[in-house]
Structure 1
Amino acid sequence: MIYLDNSATTVPDPAVLKSFEQVSTTFFANPSSIHPLGGEAEKLLIQAKKQAAEILHVAENEIIFTSGGTEGNNIAIKGIALEHQNRGKHIITTQVEHPSVDNACKSLEKLGFEITYLPVNRNGVIALSDLKQAIRNDTILISIMHVNNELGSVQPIAEIGKIAKQYPKLFFHVDYVQGLGKVPLTLRNSGIDLCTMSGHKIHGLKGTGLLFVKNGTTLFPLFHGGEQEQAIRSGTENLAGAVSIVKALRLIMEKERLYKQRLYELQRFLREELEKIEAVKVNTPIHAAPHIINFSIPGIKPEVMIHMLSEEEIYISTKSACSSKKSDESKILAACGFSDDRAVSALRVSLSYQNTEEELTNFIHVLKDKIQQFKEVME
C-alpha cells in the first residue's frame, strides 16, 4: 500500500496509541471527581496541558483541549462573534478557507453578521493591502488559515499578525491544522489570539485537538455544562485523548526539526516528475508547504483516477476530505482563477515524514499507466 492522503488523516503513531490505551486503562476516572482516582486523573490532565504549553511556547492556561479542527474553528469564530457582537458584527476571512471556517462564517451571516471574503491570487495567497482595506471600526475578527489544505499555499501569517496588533479591539484567529508539524508558526507575541490544531493530522487520534486562546481573549462558549476547560469547552475531559495529542505533538515537532528538509526534497521530486507528464498540470505554487502537491488531469474526472489508483493500493484524494463527496469543482482552485477544466479535475497528493522516494516513483509509474489506459478506453 502507498498512502498519499495525509492531509485528510494520518496513520496513528504506535506510541500515541499506546499512550491512549495506558491512560484509558489506568486513569479512567473523571478528572472532576473529588476522590483520589479523580485527583490522579486531574493531575495528569494538568501535566498534559503544561507539556503542550511548553512545546508551543505559550502559557498553560492558554491551552484548551478540543475534539479537533472543526470544533476548534467553531469555538474560535462563533465564540468571538457571539461574545463581542455588541461592539461590531464584521468578520474578515478568505475565499479559500476550510469548510469548518467557511460554513461557520456563513452560519453567522444568518444571525446578522457581515463577512468579507478576501480574494486570493493565482498562488492562493491574499494581498495584505486588501486586508488593510477591509478592516473597519466594527471589525471584531480576522480568521485566516495558515496552510491551505488543498493547494498547500502559505498565508503571510506573521505580517497579518502585525496588522492585527494595530487594532487592539479585533481578534485574529488562525486555522493551523495543515501547517502544524510542517511549517513553523510562532504564537507568542505574534498578534494571534486564537489558533486551531488537530490530532489526527499529526499521527494522533481522531477526536483530539487543541485550541490556543491567548490570555485576555474572551469567548462565548458553544457548550454549557460543568465549566471544564475554563468554561470554554464544558464536558467531561477526554483525558486519554489529551495525553495522546500531546504525545503526537511532541513527536511531530521532533520530526519537523529532523526531517523537514527531506519532505521538501520529496515534494520537489514529485513536482518535477508530474511536470514531465504531458496530461498533468501542477496547481500548487512553488513556495508552498512541503507536504502537499495539487495537480489536475483535464478531461479525467478525479474520482475515476482515484478509483483506478486505488485498484493498485495507491491512495490519493481530491479537495478536502470534508467536501470531497460534493461537486467535482474545487472552490479553492476556482478562487485562484484556474480554468474550469483544471478546477473540476484536481487531485491532491499529501505526504507524511514516513513516505519515501521509492513510493513516489511507483506512484508516478502507475499514474502514467492509468492515464494511458483511460485514453485508450476513450478512443
Structure 2
Amino acid sequence: MDDASWDKLFTTATLTDYHAEDVIVADGVKHDDMYKVVRGQVRVEKGNESAQVGHGAVLNSLGSGQTFGEMSFLDGSLPCANCIAEGDDVQVMKLSKQGMEALLQQDSELRTAFYKQMAITVTQRLQKVSKTTADIREAPRGLAQQENPASSLSAKKLLKIRRRLGIPDTEHMACMTQCMMITPGKRKSHGTLYVFETAVGFVAKVFGLRQQEVVAYSAVSEVLRETFTLKKEDGGIEMVVGAGTKAYQFFPTTLVDETFDAINRCRKAMTEHEGADDKEAARRVDGQVAHDPHKQQAPDARAMGALLEKATLEKYKAGERVIEEGTRPKTLFNLAKGRVAVEIQRLNEATQLPESVKILTLYPGAVFGEMSFLTGEVACANVVAELDCEINQIKAANIEGMLTSEGAASQATFYW
C-alpha cells in the first residue's frame, strides 16, 4: 500500500501516546483494533506463564510506519504476543475494527490494497520466523500432519457438509473416504467422497476455496470397477451418467471395494424402495465455490470458479525440486497430494560448508510460494518433494488480467 492508501485507511484512527514498558497489546487478551507506529519503537515479545511482561523472548521490533494487530482483525484470533512500548516517546495510531470494516466496505479499491498488503505482511513475518528458527539448532523441525478429515467427523461438520451438498438430514451416510476425482471434463482434484442414500458428494478445497460435486444415482446408468480405460488394479470407481457420454472417476486412497459396494447398495435401495424424483435427484453442483464468510465482500461464485480454472495440477517425483531458492516462480502452489520439505541453506559451523536445513514439512492443503506470487520477489528457500506429489498451481500472469476485469471486489476477496 502507498502512503495515500495508509492515510486514507487511518482517517478515523485515534492517536495514543505510551511510555516505556507500557503494554499496548497483551498476549492472549482479546482486542479488535489495528495499530500503526507513528513515532518510537514497539517491542514484540513472547512470554510464558512464569515470565513477567517485559521479560519474554523478543520476536520483533517495529518502527515508524509499521503495523500490528492485523491477525486479530482478520480472523478474530487472540494476540499471541505482547506489544510493548520501548522508551518514553512512543505514539501509535489505533483504528477500531468497526471503523475499518465500514471504510473498507465503502471503498473496494482500498479493500483490495489492504488485503493484498496484509497477505504480504503476514507472509513476510512467517518467513522471518522460519529463518530465525533455522538458526536455532534445538528448534523442532516441521509441522504435525493435518488430521485426516475421513478419520473422524463430528455431527456439526456433517451437518455443514449436508447443507453444502444439498443432502437432507434424514439421509443416512453409508461411508466416506479420501479420494481423487476426475470429472467428465478430465479435471482432477483431491478431496473427500461422501456416499449417501440418493447421491454421492465430493468436497475439495483448492487454494482455500471449497468446491463440491453431487452426482445423483438417478442420473447414473452404471457403476463400474473396470472399463476399457480403467483397470481394476488402478483402484478406481467409474460412475457413468446420462446416456453413457459422461463419466466421473473416483480413486479412493483406501476402502475401494467397500466404497464401491456402498454406492451400489444405496443405489439399489433407492431404486427398489423409493423410486426417484428425476427433477430433484438429478441436481448437480458443478464446480460451485463456497461463499466467503464475510458475505458483504464475497464476489460472484462463478467468477471465483473461473479463477480456479486457471490452476493446473502438476506432478512431481520424490526428490524433485518444486521451487528453487533464488528463482522467481511467480506462482502460487497448493499441495493436493504428497509431502514437501521447505529447506534453506546454512553454513555448517564444523565444516564451514553450506548445508540444507529443513525448516518446515508441508502436507496436503498447504499453500506456499506466496511472496513471489504477490510481489515477484525471489524465492528465499527450496521446496523439495519428499514423496510423489500432485500440486495445484496458479501463475500470477494468468490471473492478473482476470482479477482486473472482475473488479476490486473480486480482487479483495482473492487476497483475503
Q: Same fold (TM over 0.5)?
A: no
Structure ranking higher in strand proportion: 2
Structure ranking higher in helix proportion: 1
Q: Which has the higher contact order (CA 8 A, sep 6+)?
A: 1
Query: Which has the greater radius of gyration?
Result: 2
Query: Normalized against structure 2, the TM-score is what?
Result: 0.21
